[in-house]
Amino acid sequence: MAIDSSLAIPTAERRTFGHPTGLIPLAGTELWERISFHGMLALLTLYLAEQLLRPGHVEKVVGFPVFRAMIEGVTGPLSVQALAAQIFGLYIGFIYFTPIFGGFIGDRLIGRKNAVILGAALMTCGHLAMAFDQSFLVALLLLILGAGFLRGNLIAQVGRLYASGDSRLASGLQIYVAMVNTGGFIAPIITGLLGQTWGWHFGFGFAGFGMLVGLATYLLGSKYIPDDPPRRGALESPPLTRAEWRTIAFLIGLLPALTLYWIVNSQQWNVYNIWTRDHVNMVVFGWQMPIAWIQSLGSIICVGLVPLVLTIWDWQLRMGRAFSDMGKMAFGCAIMAAFTLLDGAASWIFGAQAKIPLIWVIMDNFGQSFGYLWVVPVAIAYYTHTAPKKVNAMMVGVYYLSIFAGSLISGRLGGMYESVSPTAFWGLHAGIVAVAGAIFAGLAMSGVARQFVPVHSGQV
């Protein structure tokens, strides 16, 4: 297929540290969006379980009786803690479901830049609404819609900075993911401290401030980001070819395996906080560390491990032993399964009533973060450069469907936490991600995935 000149990158592109300069404002925007997002993650389950769903607060939430009835109509009656886990799962799930629609609107109607700006504005309003018990459900709705416009369109613009087949994309996405995890490190430290010292709403307020800064970062750096193609051209583009439809079908076919991975990863944001509260010794030299800081631990470890993972990939390439994309994801899932077992083994080793040493959790986070870096950046790069350019942002949204489904299922499984032992709970999750790894390993050995990389020329 001929390169679409309207999407081509100038040969004299401006570069920073060997990458297109546009990567800086895009990664910077993602950094602040993740400060906003992870600020919510660090607090939401605990906030729901310890305050909002308790008498004196839950009665104030507009529309909550109907909302609860809809959930329990599917799940049956839920305890406060189980309901908190389920609401968290629904929130995270829909955060990752709406990008498929936001990506389509960005691709075909309002343009990716406008979609990112609209999404950031909606998310800022959502965080402001979190300041009041009454507007809790409205806040969640605004945050979900805002993420739908922002996420698929923002990361699709990263792919558009690089020509098809450009080897820098993988490392560029590792840099991008490093910003994701830097935001994930910063947010829980600040929001956790604010929530513990001043109250939950101060923590949520900082998350809203982060989203405002993200919007400013995007607007100031937009001149380095390639312009959107004319919407008229997008609407009048020729239909997808048979090869492009086959690629789309294969990308959709990967969703079940990715969903299994995200069930376990999402649980690290959800019940992991409750498990930490119940079973981990959080006292450091007589000081009670905020539980939310455990989320920061995993994120900063991820950032620190990026150079190691890139070095391993470079060594594998030079030695002629590079894993395929499917092989990398299989390896990452295997690592994730092994270290998820550590969570379950801890209660068995130290005793059900004993407090688990903090060093155990730190070791666990190192392993799970190492596995994460072999799965998530690889999957994003695969979708970004494999999906047909005419529907690229929408297909990035399709990838997010795996996080949507995984988060919903993790919320449902989270309701089991009170009725089974931690060993059984985390052992189940280790088995789930191990199955995902087996699927990716099968695809790697069969070589099926190689025929789909990429089916289009030009860039996305």
Query: Which residue(s) pair with 284 in the sheet?
Result: 287
**Per-residue tokens: 237:** 């583009």
pLDDT tens for 85-141 read: 889 888 888 888 888 788 788 877 888 888 989 998 999 899 888 878 889 999 999
For residue 353, what are the contacts with CB-CB under 8 A and spacing of at least 6? Answer: none
Is the pLDDT at 450 greater than 80? The verdict is no
Catalogue the long-range contacts made by 281-287 (C-beta closer than 8 Å, 24 or more residues apart).
281/355, 281/356, 281/357, 281/358, 282/358, 284/358
Calpha distance 176→435 (Å, rounded): 28
Reported pTM:
0.73
Helix 242-253 and helix 392-414: axis angle, to 10°? 20
In what helix (H) or strand (E) does residue 287 lie, and over which residues does it extend? strand 287-288
**Per-residue tokens: 107:** 């691709």
pLDDT tens for 297-324 read: 777 788 788 889 989 988 998 888 888 8
Q: Kindly indicate the confidence band of residue 253, based on its pLDDT and cuts at 50, 70 and 90.
A: very high
Note whether 23 and 16 are within 8 A (CB): yes
Domain boundaries, the chain: 24-226+242-452
Q: Which CATH architecture has domain 24-226+242-452?
A: Up-down Bundle (1.20)
Out of 42-51, 224-233, 317-326, which region has the weakest mean confidence (pLDDT)?
Answer: 224-233
Residue 338 confidence (pLDDT): 94
How much of the chain exceeds pLDDT 90, in percent? 20
